[in-house]
């Protein structure tokens, strides 16, 4: 298995690992369901707003920080359909934005394909980051429909250092595990501009 080399990269204190195809799929489901429920068109999700919410869910607090967002996706997918900006190569990879409260967010992407499956890349990256002392906060967004993957994630995190704050974002709660959990839908609703007072 030839997984892209991640061991020698300089990592930030906060890293967000995302199955971008899964994130895009959940955003689509929320758009369809909430447009029906609240009776208005919902625009594409703001990827920067989502990243800020994910970092906050992962325990980042105001200050001058750098947060890395790693988008892992199928090689055949050039862009996310339900986010803006969305093109991995042209608009996201190597690009950054500054948030007034939390500092800089830097995006990168890793396509899966013949060399390595997406699941293998996510698990390899997770194991690598668990071994890096400079990484203090780790947020992971795996495909929670993949029960085997979720079991491996839970098992991998069982031996994680207690000084790392690890947060798993999913659409349904996970049983057990040495990590915090956040419901992915809340951060996506914010990124989609859905206000709580619109939901009856």
Q: How far is it, in rounded angstroms, from Cα 153 to Cα 123?
A: 7
The first and second tokens of residue 22, run together, are 């899964």
Determine the Cα–Cα distance for residues 172 and 144; give it in Å rounded to an integer. Answer: 8
pLDDT for the residue 69: 98
pLDDT digit string (tens) for 96-120?
999 999 999 999 999 998 678 999 9
Nearest to 43 by CA among 61, 56, 29, 31: 31
Note whether 137 and 13 are within 8 A (CB).
yes
- Is pLDDT larger for residue 197 or for residue 194? 194
Alpha carbon distance 188, 185 (integer Å): 5
Mean pLDDT of the chain: 91
User: Using an 8 Å Cβ cutoff, are 122 and 143 in contact?
Assistant: no
What distance separates the 2 farthest-apart alpha carbons in the chain?
49
Q: In the prediction, which pLDDT does 5 show?
A: 54
Q: Running DSSP on this structure, what letter comes out for residue 59?
A: T
Question: How does pLDDT run across 6-15, given as a tens digit for each residue?
Answer: 556 789 999 9
């Amino acid at each position: 298995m030839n997984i892209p080399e991640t061991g020698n990269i300089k990592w930030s204190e906060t890293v967000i690992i995302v199955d971008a195809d899964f994130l895009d799929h959940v955003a689509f489901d929320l758009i369809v369901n909430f447009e029906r429920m609240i009776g208005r068109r919902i625009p594409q999700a703001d990827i920067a707003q989502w990243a800020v919410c994910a970092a906050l869910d992962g325990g980042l607090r105001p200050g001058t920080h750098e947060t890395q967002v790693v988008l892992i996706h199928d090689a055949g997918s050039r862009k996310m359909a339900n986010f803006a900006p969305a093109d991995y190569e042209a608009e996201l990879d190597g690009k950054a934005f500054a948030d007034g409260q939390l500092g800089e967010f830097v995006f990168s992407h890793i396509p899966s394909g013949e060399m390595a499956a997406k699941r293998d890349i996510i698990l390899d990256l997770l194991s690598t980051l668990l071994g890096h002392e400079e990484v203090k906060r780790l947020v992971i967004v795996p495909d929670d429909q993949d029960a085997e993957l979720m079991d491996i994630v839970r098992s991998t995190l069982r031996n994680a250092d207690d000084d790392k704050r690890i947060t798993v974002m999913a659409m349904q709660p996970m049983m057990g595990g040495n990590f915090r959990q956040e419901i992915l839908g809340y951060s996506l609703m914010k990124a989609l501009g859905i206000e709580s007072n619109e939901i009856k």
